[in-house]
Structure 1
Amino acid sequence: MPEDDWSVGVWWNGWRAGTAHPQACVCEHSGNPLVGIAAAALAVGMAFQAERGQCFDLRSEVELWTTVEGKEDAPGFSEVFLPGALWLIGLGNLGQAFLWALAALPYENPSEVSLVLQDRDKISEENWATSVLVGDDTYGVLKTRIAEQWALRKGFDVRRIDRMLAATDRLDDADPRIALCGVDKIEARKRLASIGFDCIVDAGLGRSASDFDRYRVTIFDSARPIDKHFANQTDAKTDDEIPQVHAYQHLLGEIGRCGAAEVVGASVAAPYVSALAAVVAVSRLIAITSGCKCPSSEVGRLSSLNMRRVAPIVDIDARGARHAGNPKGYER
């Protein structure tokens, strides 16, 4: 192999996935598709770091199911229950990654899975490089329509709402009681507190050139209200300095500072970051649906996963959670 060639390998085992030198990667048998998505996201992140001249170690690892060390093992994929009813709020970068991860789950009958898709925005040019369901022919189309069409093709039972969620909205008895949130504004998150959700799994991404590969997944319930968590927080500004790296400066020269900041904060790297955030969030949903404890929060950066912070494992109050059975092809 030429000395200037570069390659990275992926591996997975149970609920764990990672990257390493190709010769050091051994994949154990696993029917869990989420670890495949996670491994791919980590590998793309490594490639991006290599292009920036910042890939100094090919080894990275993430565990999608957190347990109390030394006291219990993560369940086998055959033992869990898959989520059966979800309200997805925000169908941009993160929301579409959520759908992608959910569609990868081996449901016995996807038509029994109820999804409510809510957003008010339309696809614009900047969504092309950041959102997994967006194509050249979708500009100007409602994000909910793109998501609905894709989810219907996957066999899900889908309802869409083409407006913002209002603080005065209330759930009907048959509505999903679990929300999966991927919005980018704190005020929008605060409004979720009064709607009637039993549980909210909320994900967020870094928004600037300095933290674009950062992700956060937080679970809110009756013991951890979302409005109290964000009570004293406001949306951060994203006008930080563009890094003095060739790739960023090239973008700056091509489309101007505003566009470059936007690309740095989202378009260049966000797809692989949102993919990892999505599988972490969906893994938490599976734990909640299965009646298992899980961390109330996790914060990490793909470029330094060894520094990720995971909150203690807690019980989640999600009495209204509905499941759609065990993964297809497995027996308890």
Structure 2
Amino acid sequence: MNAIVHDRSAQLLMAVDGLGYDEARFRLERAALVIDGPPDLDEAHQALLLSVVRCGVRMFKAGVFLGEGLSGRITIGLERPARLRRALQDLGAQVQTAPLDAARLWIGADDGHGAPQLRAWVDGWQAVISPRPAEDPPRTGNVLAGMAAGGLAVAELFRKTVLADVRACRRPQALSVWGANEPEIAKITRLPRHAWLLGLGNLGQATLFGLSLLPWDDPGEATFVLNDADVVGPENLSVQILTTPAWIGRKKVRAAAEWIEARGFKVVLDERRFIASTQPGQNDPRMALVGVDNLDARRWAAASGFDLVIDAGLGASGPEAFDIRLHAFPGAQDPAAVWPEIQTAGRKLPSSLAALVEQGRLDMCGAMTIAGASVGVPCTAVVAAALQLGQACRALETGSCADRVDLSLADLPRASWRQMPAALYRGPAVLASRVA
């Protein structure tokens, strides 16, 4: 019974396709992914590959398998100087023969080997996925675009392989983590040296991962306030990219702090809930990166006196699992208009959960817990975190960023962006470290 309550992956399929639990598990357990690419990858494509593996091992239950390429050393972030292939195995990737029906992803814009279903690459600030090679050589990219491309690729292949989405892997899709009027040169020149991270679940852990990929000269110059009151549970294993079984039962903020401190950063722990009276103190970060699903906390954070708040929200229901909405403050709307009070009616139990209750495999309390819980996938959080950090870097460089982004990974051409109406009151140098 507890296994069903904690099984967020099966709950997603039950919510999206209306499957019974056993059929959902059957689909998940058959899903495998093979990743291949050229022997040596540049930094942007290393970030892409690491993102694919971190998401893929949680979503493709039959395993993530490495092709014959993908050698060399890691040269990005704070994982170096490990051998790339060894690092991927440490994250859960396998080197033995993959199932014949495994999905196949090629890292790079060229034709690839082994008839890949999808290719993923980076073009400047843009993350690109396509069933076909690039028509023109792509520009040199950066790690945030690579991170987003990794999340996009996993989402596309999961939708095709597990969700049987007929639209998946049939057309090119691209997403800029900068937005309109991106610079021709994609080098990241300013980094957030002080930030308040509110929420260390699905999105917050993806943001920590993204911060670890950035080109720090000295990570010890950065201090992050980690703010979360929750405890890690078994249900977090399949959706939160840093969570391991050893984290279960621990405070999220303490486990996450150990992970980021091991990479050289300084942290301040805050295990209190963010409430209406919470405000940054004189020595606290002036930038907040918010990733929580509590509407009150999001309103309070946006109005609490930070110089810049970038809030990323993920779709909470099965049909919305690949949706992202980002808001930045100060912006064109105030927090109360962005997140109005919503009156919720009584929730009807889905037929798939009602069947489990009737069979005695789930009690009513467990069924209601599942029905009221958010359903998420790590690939969406990884793309959202890349967007969030991309807009942070854009604000630090230019003094402005997008104040609203609305998109679905399933249909990127319909994404909408809105520019912040005025530059930030305080200059970007107040918040940033310069990259040499």
TM over 0.5, shorter chain: yes
User: Is 2:191 the counterpart of 1:78?
Assistant: no
Identity, % of aligned positions: 27
2:129 corresponds to:
19
Residue 111 of structure 1 deviates from its aligned partner by 0.7
Structure 2 residue runs without a partner (length 5+): 1-98, 104-116
Two-structure CA RMSD over aligned residues (Å): 3.1
Residue-pair matches, total:
313
TM-score, normalised with respect to structure 2:
0.65
2:433 corresponds to:
324
Which of 170, 175, 178 does residue 65 from structure 1 map onto? Answer: 178
Residue 205 of structure 1 deviates from its aligned partner by 0.6
1:277 corresponds to:
384
CA distance in 2, matches of 1:64, 1:235: 34
TM-score, normalised with respect to structure 1:
0.83
Conservation of the 8 A alpha-carbon contact between 2:349 and 2:368? no
2:259 corresponds to:
150
CA distance in 1, matches of 2:349, 2:183: 42
User: Is 2:202 the counterpart of 1:93?
Assistant: yes
Q: Which amino acid aligns with 1:125?
A: P
CA distance in 2, matches of 1:205, 1:227: 18
Cα deviations across residues 106-156 of structure 1 (Å, max 9, x unaligned)? Answer: 111111111000000000111111111111111110000111011101111
Q: Rg bigger for which structure?
A: 2
Cα deviations across residues 133-190 of structure 1 (Å, max 9, x unaligned)? Answer: 1111111100001110111011111111011022223322221011100110111112
Q: Residue 151 and residue 272 in structure 1: after superposition, are their counterparts in 2 closer, same or farther (change >3 A)?
A: same
Which of 21, 28, 35 does residue 145 from structure 2 map onto? Answer: 35
Which of 221, 235, 245 does residue 136 from structure 1 map onto? Answer: 245
Residue 61 of structure 1 deviates from its aligned partner by 1.1
Which of 44, 48, 52 does residue 154 from structure 2 map onto? Answer: 44
1:218 corresponds to:
327
CA distance in 2, matches of 1:10, 1:238: 43
Cα deviations across residues 54-73 of structure 1 (Å, max 9, x unaligned)? Answer: 143242211111224xxxx5
Residue 24 of structure 1 deviates from its aligned partner by 4.3
Q: Which amino acid aligns with 1:186?
A: L
Indicate the SS of the match to 2:165: coil
CA distance in 2, matches of 1:310, 1:222: 13
Which of 285, 289, 307 does residue 396 from structure 2 map onto? Answer: 289
Cα deviations across residues 273-308 of structure 1 (Å, max 9, x unaligned)? Answer: 000000000000001111243221001011111111
CA distance in 2, matches of 1:88, 1:318: 21
Alignment of 1:192-207 (within 5 A): 192-207=301-316
